[in-house]
């Protein structure tokens, strides 16, 4: 029997365990932070032999609250190996951005099959990934690691040095972050000083990066035996960072006959070849700049979140969640995309600080299925700090793709609600 250790802290409801669980072949366990255990779906618990819940820790940064302490999980894995009789009888499964390196380190330390730390690092550290792509002559934004010693000196000369290197407008973000958390666009020295005061004492490393003016796209793919088995190209309505400033965020799959899709797929596969193809799912973001160039932004070795993968499953009958798990368990997989009968896209609506005075339903030609987490007179204490904090989520669908895309464009101007 194979013991499968899950390090995911979210998203268990997205797996179809009925199709996968075989009590004679697999024993499922999960290692969870206390908050993740509280949110673990009751209907899923029956598929797991054990849920390890780590000790409660003081409230920390969003990243740290999702990252499992390595020494704790190392002890659990060691004990599970003793129970199983061999590390060959263990499998580590993780699609959680903040625990991918933990999973890789465990595999390396205990000689468990699967992607190693060296495999995962180029998909996790934004400096390493861009340095490697530069060596392959692939276009990336100009960038540099922020020197915290210079930040603490409050030296405007350092700001000017960054402007000279990156341009008048640039972006500051964590080198190993996700979901645009702690990401800020810098327009002037005052904004720079405000942001740097916040990050000087942060336990994380930050980088400064050239601001790219253009449309943001994402390339999502499933890799097996170092080959792209199936892939999707989608367009964002706005860059993800705008969601943190109160803008609605939509993402629509593009049709395979769109001329830009072929270019994006070719560019993306060049990127993957340079970084090193690893089996599983991945989510890659890139800009199509106003000058017509494709420019890499970042990539993660995981299924796309925010309902994107679920939308692919609905449209194309390709379920990235379950395929990723089936691949890990060496089960047979069908990668074939079906031609959509109904086209659809995801709409995410953020929280905005204030008292809600009015809510507007989207007025579109397409069908709108929306779930609101707010109502009039609610008082919102803080604006969304990441794409998991949603005032509402919607699926917009239509059998006519042209109409659907027109509605997607309309939503760029959509104001979901008013606050005072």
On the question of pLDDT at 313 being above 90, the answer is yes
What DSSP string runs through 264-323? HHHHHHHHHHHH---SEEEEEEEEEETTS-EEEEEEESS--TTTHHHHHHHHHS--HHHH
Residue with tokens 């969640």: 321
User: Whose CA is closest to 269, among 327, 328, 222, 211?
Assistant: 222
On the question of pLDDT at 63 being above 70, the answer is no
3-state secondary structure of 349: strand
pLDDT of residue 176: 84
Q: Rounded distance, CA 241 to CA 250, Å?
A: 13
pLDDT of residue 181: 77
Beta strands 143-145; 206-210: pairing state? antiparallel
Q: Could you tell me which residues are beta bridge partners of residue 296? A: 286
Question: Around Cβ 151, how many Cβ atoms within 10 Å?
Answer: 19
3-state secondary structure of 135: helix
| Beta strand spans in 54-103 (E) | 90-93
CA dihedral 161, 165, 171, 173 (to 10 degrees): -80
- Over residues 34-58, the mean pLDDT reads 92
On the question of pLDDT at 153 being above 70, the answer is no
User: Whose CA is closest to 288, among 247, 245, 248, 258?
Assistant: 258
Q: Which two tokens stand for residue 122?
A: 């180029």
Residue with tokens 């969870």: 32
The full set of domain ranges for the chain reads 2-114, 142-210, 214-419
pLDDT of residue 179: 67
Residues 6+ apart with CB under 8 A from 175: 125, 126, 127, 145, 204, 205, 206, 207
What is the homologous superfamily of the domain 142-210 according to CATH? ATP-grasp fold, A domain (3.30.1490.20)
**H helix runs in 85-211, sequence order:** 100-110, 117-124, 126-135, 148-152, 156-166, 189-199
Q: Rounded distance, CA 331 to CA 217, Å?
A: 31
User: Are 370 and 396 a contacting pair, CB within 8 Å?
Assistant: no
pLDDT of residue 164: 96
Residue with tokens 């004990």: 79
Helix axes 117-124, 100-110, angle to 10 degrees: 170
Q: What is the pLDDT of residues 216-271, one digit of tens each?
A: 999 999 999 999 999 999 999 999 999 988 999 999 999 999 999 999 999 999 99
What is the homologous superfamily of the domain 214-419 according to CATH? ATP-grasp fold, B domain (3.30.470.20)
> 3.40.50.10440, 3.40.50.620, 3.30.300.30, 3.40.50.20: which CATH number matches 2-114?
3.40.50.20
Q: What is the pLDDT of residues 91-128, one digit of tens each?
A: 999 999 999 999 999 999 999 999 999 999 999 999 99
- Dmax (CA) of the chain: 65
| Torsions phi, psi for 205 (to 5 deg) | -90, 145
Distances (CA, A) of 351 to 54, 130, 171, 251, 408: 30, 32, 23, 18, 20
Q: Rounded distance, CA 275 to CA 117, Å?
A: 13
User: Are 396 and 362 a contacting pair, CB within 8 Å?
Assistant: yes
What does R_g of the chain's alpha carbons equal in angstroms?
22
pLDDT of residue 66: 80
- pLDDT: is 306 or 70 the higher one? 70
Count Cβ atoms within 10 A of the Cβ of residue 314 and give its class: 0-12 exposed, 13-18 middle, 19 or more buried.
middle
- pLDDT: is 67 or 78 the higher one? 78
């Amino acid at each position: 029997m194979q013991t499968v250790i899950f390090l995911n802290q979210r998203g268990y409801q997205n797996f179809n365990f009925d199709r996968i669980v075989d009590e004679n072949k697999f024993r499922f366990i999960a290692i969870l932070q206390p908050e993740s255990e509280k949110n673990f779906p009751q209907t899923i618990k029956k598929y797991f032999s054990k849920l390890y819940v780590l000790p409660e820790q003081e409230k920390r940064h969003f990243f740290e609250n999702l990252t499992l302490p390595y020494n704790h999980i190392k002890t659990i894995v060691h004990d599970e190996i003793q129970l199983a009789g061999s590390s060959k009888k263990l499998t580590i499964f993780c699609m959680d951005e903040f625990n991918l390196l933990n999973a890789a380190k465990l595999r390396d330390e205990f000689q468990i099959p699967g992607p190693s730390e060296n495999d995962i690092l180029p998909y996790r550290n934004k400096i390493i990934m861009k340095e490697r792509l530069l060596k392959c002559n692939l276009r990336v934004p100009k960038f540099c690691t922020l020197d915290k010693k210079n930040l603490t000196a409050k030296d405007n000369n350092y700001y000017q040095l960054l402007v000279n290197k990156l341009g008048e407008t640039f972006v500051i973000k964590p080198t190993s972050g996700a979901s645009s958390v702690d990401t800020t666009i810098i327009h002037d020295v005052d904004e720079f000083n405000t942001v740097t005061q916040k990050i000087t004492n942060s336990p994380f490393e930050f980088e400064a990066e050239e601001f790219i003016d253009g449309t943001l796209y994402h390339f999502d793919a499933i890799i097996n035996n170092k080959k792209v088995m199936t892939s999707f190209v989608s367009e964002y309505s706005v860059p993800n960072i705008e969601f943190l400033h109160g803008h609605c965020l939509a993402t629509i799959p593009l049709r395979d006959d769109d001329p830009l899709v072929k270019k994006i797929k070719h560019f993306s596969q060049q990127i993957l070849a340079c970084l090193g193809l690893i089996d599983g799912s991945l989510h890659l973001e890139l800009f199509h700049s106003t000058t017509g160039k494709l420019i890499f932004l970042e990539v993660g070795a995981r299924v796309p979140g925010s309902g994107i993968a679920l939308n692919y499953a609905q449209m194309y009958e390709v379920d990235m969640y379950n395929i990723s798990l089936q691949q890990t368990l060496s089960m047979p997989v069908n990668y074939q995309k079906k031609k959509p009968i109904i086209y659809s896209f995801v709409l995410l609506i953020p929280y905005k600080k204030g008292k809600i005075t009015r809510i507007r339903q989207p007025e579109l030609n397409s069908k709108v299925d929306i779930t609101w987490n707010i109502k009039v007179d609610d008082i919102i204490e803080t604006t969304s700090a990441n794409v998991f904090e949603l005032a509402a989520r919607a699926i917009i669908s239509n059998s006519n793709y042209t109409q659907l895309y027109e509605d997607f464009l309309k939503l760029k101007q959509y104001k979901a609600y008013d606050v005072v």
